[in-house]
Homo-oligomer: A and B are copies of this chain.
């Protein structure tokens, strides 16, 4: 029935834009940040009332945010981190988050896209810093796979200086499968690698482009390199072998600014 289908689409859009954070202090900070669209506060029934739990409930009530109580096991499922959630989880609406499926559907209508694709960014500080620069610079989508990259936990939020909630994040399960789909949709796949002969600074993309950033130690995986249409390097002085991955991401994010400024 059409109404069921509309309801499904609405729910899907809601879920793919919802980030669930956990922990007492992070949840309280988020509830007190009026710029954030907090959806639902989830509490374990086993939490002792009073103290910070009372503060959390008060902060939610003041903003008219619903509070739901769950048994410990159900809360673990919501937070996805029962060991560190401290009996508290909070759903936050992130307007620029979307699933790969949604992004692929939108792609034909979008102007030339600049995508950062993350192939094993394991350090949460690097991931947070990268999201901060991508959100500030000219990046239309950060393709983040659940598998292989650091989880979107408190360390990432902190290193992102809170910009994670505004980041243009496209979520998928496996990066290689996602890049295959993007390639079929006309996206050039550029792999950042030290042994490439073409410089990032000379590269002028003619279509949608995804820049793949690899793991801090091992670089881009061979599986993903096999999918790449182009390899790009960053020329370096003084025999420096590589840059921090968040720095590389930032150079890509701000490349157009420099070029426009000439």
Contacts and interface: CB of A to CB of B under 8 A. Distances in A.
Contacts of A247: 129, 132-133, 246-247, 250
Main secondary structure of the interface of A (DSSP, over half): helix
B201 A240 contact: no
B258 A201 contact: yes
Nearest to A249: B247
A163 to B, nearest CB: 5
A48 interface: no
A113 to B, nearest CB: 15
A52 interface: no
Contacts of A132: 240, 243-244, 247
Interface string A224-258: 00000000001111111111101100110011011
Interface stretch (A6-14, A15-23, A69-77, A135-143): A135-143
A83 interface: no
A179 to B, nearest CB: 25
Interface size class of A (residues with CB under 8 A): 35 or more
Contacts of A109: none
Which of A138, A243, A255, A259 has the most chain B CB within a 10 Å cutoff?
A243
Contact of A244 (B234, B239, B246, B262): B246
A183 interface: no
A238 B201 contact: no
B240 A163 contact: yes
Interface in A164-197: 166
A112 interface: no
B201 A135 contact: no
A237 B133 CA distance: 10
A95 B163 CA distance: 40
A1 interface: no
Contacts of A234: 136, 254, 257
A104 interface: no
A2 interface: no
B129 A163 contact: no
Interface in A40-60: none
Which of A201, A202, A243, A254 has the most chain B CB within a 10 Å cutoff?
A254
8 nearest interchain CB pairs?
A201-B261, A258-B258, A136-B240, A136-B236, A247-B250, A201-B257, A202-B261, A135-B238
